[in-house]
Chains A and B, each alone.
Chain A
Amino acid sequence: QTQLQESGPGLVKPSETLALTCTVSGGSFTSYHWSWIRQPPGKGLEWIGYIYYTGNTNYNPSLRSRVTMSLDTSKRQFSLRLTSVTAADTAVYYCARTGLYSSPEMNWFDPWGQGLLVTVSS
């Protein structure tokens, strides 16, 4: 059974860079797409982007200028970097497996990590 776990700082200062890592245990790491999704407190879900095991990425256009995703297959980890953060980036950040089909609409998010609350504040 595949499990995902987010890790990283829970507090980031405005204008700095948010950096999170997701560690995948169990199941296959290669062949899949891997996503980051966030949820501001009391609000809905926003897809940030995904990375394919080959390293190919697809980012939400609204965040593309500030987002970078990478992966380390040897460690079974993938990472998120979000630059120039503001209070609007305060959210619970989830990582999620996103399927193995090349056509994105064929995939879905399952399973998800438990989520990590990141607060942007000085």
Chain B
Amino acid sequence: QSVLTQPPSASGTPGQSVTISCSGSSSNIGSNYVYWYQQLPGTAPTVLIYRNNQRPSGVPDRFSGSKSGTSASLAISVLRSEDEADYYCAAWDDSQSGLWVFGGGTKLTVL
């Protein structure tokens, strides 16, 4: 059971837009930044969005992040076949002595 809640799957056709949600609580998303990671099949995750809505250099502007209250979203516009991957949200959680928590991951299928 992951601390952050994501839908297990999402899908879309090339050219469409898709949004992946991430729900948390006041001790994580509600008070700290949200990060998004993309994990292509058989590879290690890479950072896609940092500090809620910032894109590292090299990440297309088709990817965007937002946060409101204790929830966050990753939006992917103009879907491409190479976007098929697992997507994870993450945030620092202030409970206990502090720890990083992840969502359970969303498998995006490009139909």
Q: Is the CB of A112 within 8 A of B32?
A: no
How far apart are A27's CB and chain B's nearest CB, in angstroms? Answer: 15
Tell me, in angstroms, the Cα distance from A113 to B44 when the chains sit together. 7
In this complex, what residue of A is CB-closest to B91? A105
- Of the candidates B46, B88, B99, B103, the one having the most CB atoms from chain A within 10 angstroms of its own CB is B99
Residues of B within 8 A of A104 (CB): 92, 98, 100
Residues of B within 8 A of A121 (CB): none
Q: Does A110 contact B (CB under 8 A)?
A: yes
Q: Is the CB of B102 within 8 A of A110?
A: no
How large, as a class, is the contact surface on chain B? 20 to 34
Tell me, in angstroms, the Cα distance from A61 to B94 when the chains sit together. 12
How far apart are B103's CB and chain A's nearest CB, in angstroms? Answer: 7
Q: Does B104 contact A (CB under 8 A)?
A: yes
Which residues of B come within 8 Å of A, CB atoms?
A: 2, 32-33, 35, 37, 43-47, 50-51, 56, 88, 90-92, 96-105
A-B CB proximity, top 4 nearest = A105-B92, A47-B100, A105-B32, A112-B44
Which residues of A come within 8 Å of B, CB atoms?
A: 35, 44-47, 58, 60-61, 94, 104-106, 108-115
A–B complex contacts, Cβ < 8 Å, 18 sampled: A44-B105, A45-B45, A45-B90, A58-B99, A60-B100, A61-B96, A104-B92, A104-B100, A105-B32, A106-B51, A108-B35, A109-B35, A109-B45, A110-B50, A110-B56, A112-B45, A114-B43, A114-B44
